[in-house]
Amino acid sequence: MDVATNTKGAEEQINKMVGFIGGGRMAQAMAKGFISSGLVRAKNILVSDNSEEMLHILEDIGVNTTTSNKEVVQKSDLIVIAVKPNVVGKVLKEVASLVVPEKQLFVSIAAGVTIKSIEQNLPAGTHVVRVMPNTPALVQAGAAVMASGSNAVLEDTALVQALLRTVGICEESSESLLDAVTGVSGSGPAYAFAAIESLSDGGVKMGLPRDLATKLAAQTLLGAAKMVLETGKHPGQLKDEVCSPSGTTIAAMHVLEKKGFRGILMDAVEAATLRAKELGASN
Ligand SMILES: NC(=O)C1=CN([C@@H]2O[C@H](COP(=O)(O)OP(=O)(O)OC[C@H]3O[C@@H](n4cnc5c(N)ncnc54)[C@H](O)[C@@H]3O)[C@@H](O)[C@H]2O)C=CC1
Ligand SMILES: O=C(O)[C@@H]1CCC=N1
């Protein structure tokens, strides 16, 4: 990895041009995270989008912008494909003739889109890494998993890992697991937001002011998540430690079990995973 001393606090700074094709929600979360970590300078990021409105939002972040996907490929060492899955094939075909396979790395974050289909749309030998990130990258609490393409080398995965670890955790797996990763952590923030909103609704129903109810609900999910990650205890054990005999929590848990809380979440993960597979099959 090509690195220099970082002046903003991160241990290293990447002296590479990072391009994004598609500058929507996920690209913004990643770009903002890379910049605020100090690993990539805003002036080293170039984002293309075909929406003028999106380009204005991106300019506010301080990154360079363009309407030309080709310009991103001409000027970047690492190119993140951050358009919707059904647009990936089109943009890859658009830029393919400009790719320098031995010098550039393509990182796709598109749900479902397989490494094979990405490689087929790019010149032979192009280095590809597929990643499933999530939006909490925006607040350096992201969860990402990456899988290497057939031409990717250790330097590529080290670079992607270094970037993604500035915005959260980044694990590596075989590509066959990435659709299930999408079901758990890619889509997962939406389930957590719905849970926070619902807990807050419950608090309001029981008389709490909305602001307090939402703050308590969010802090409770954050605290519970930290306990799982930091204590190493099984979530079931941590749940048991909240449930006093004949207490309030076990009364609530009984309702959750009767209504199928766990099964609903498992079904949700399954639905998102299957939808990712469908997206991959149709693109
Ligand atoms: N939003 C999320 O939580 C996550 C999204 N992803 C993946 O990230 C990708 C992007 O998703 P979002 O950021 O949510 O979508 P988005 O809709 O917010 O962003 C996509 C952007 O691409 C632009 N675009 C459309 N056609 C284009 C073209 N031909 N050339 C250049 N730009 C074009 C759109 O104007 C838009 O700004 C998707 O493939 C999705 O599967 C992955 C993990 C999490
Ligand atoms: O809903 C979606 O398709 C994207 C992929 C993972 C999260 N959002």
In order, the DSSP letters of 160-204 are HHHHHHTTEEEEE--GGGHHHHIIIIISHHHHHHHHHHHHHHHHH
Q: Could you give the CA distance from residue 25 to residue 85 in angstroms, rounded to a whole number?
A: 14
Closest ligand 1 atom to 111 CA: 41
Nearest residue to 37 via CA among 14, 10, 4, 12:
10
The residues of the chain scoring below 70 in pLDDT are 1-12
Nearest residue to 21 via CA among 97, 102, 62, 75:
75
Closest ligand 2 atom to 186 CA: 6
Please tell me the predicted confidence (pLDDT) of residue 12: 67
Q: Could you give the CA distance from residue 233 to residue 237 in angstroms, rounded to a whole number?
A: 7
Q: Half-sphere exposure (CA, 13 Å, Cβ side) for 205?
A: 6
The conformational region for residue 113 under phi > 0 = left, psi -120 to 50 = alpha, else beta, is: beta
**Does 101 belong to an annotated binding site?**
no
Please tell me the predicted confidence (pLDDT) of residue 5: 31
Q: Could you give the CA distance from residue 181 to residue 231 in angstroms, rounded to a whole number?
A: 23
Q: Tally Cβ neighbours within 10 Å of residue 196.
A: 20
Strand partners, 127: 105
**Does 69 belong to an annotated binding site?**
yes
Closest ligand 1 atom to 48 CA: 31
Q: DSSP strand E in 43-104: where?
A: 45-48, 64-66, 78-81
Q: Using DSSP, state whether 1 is helix, strand or coil.
A: coil
Closest ligand 1 atom to 54 CA: 37
Q: Half-sphere exposure (CA, 13 Å, Cβ side) for 277?
A: 9
Cα of 186 from ligand 2 centre, angstroms = 6
Please tell me the predicted confidence (pLDDT) of residue 282: 82
Cα of 217 from ligand 1 centre, angstroms = 29
Please report which helix (H) or strand (E) contains residue 88, including its range.
helix 85-95
Please tell me the predicted confidence (pLDDT) of residue 25: 93
User: What Cα–Cα distance (Å) separates residue 121 from each residue in 27, 127, 226?
Assistant: 21, 12, 41
Q: Kindly give the pairing relationship between strand 78-81 and strand 105-108.
A: parallel
Q: What is the CA radius of gyration of the chain?
A: 21
Tell me the whole-structure pTM to 2 decimals: 0.94
Please tell me the predicted confidence (pLDDT) of residue 33: 86
Q: Kindly give the pairing relationship between strand 127-132 and strand 142-148.
A: antiparallel
Of the ligands numbered here, which is closest to the C-alpha atom of 143? 1
Cα of 61 from ligand 2 centre, angstroms = 23
Q: Could you give the CA distance from residue 120 to residue 93 in angstroms, rounded to a whole number?
A: 10
Q: Could you give the CA distance from residue 231 to residue 39 in angstroms, rounded to a whole number?
A: 29
Q: Could you give the CA distance from residue 277 to residue 82 in angstroms, rounded to a whole number?
A: 18
**Does 83 belong to an annotated binding site?**
yes
Ligand 2 cavity residues, CB under 6 Å: 111, 182, 186-187
Of the ligands numbered here, which is closest to the C-alpha atom of 80? 1
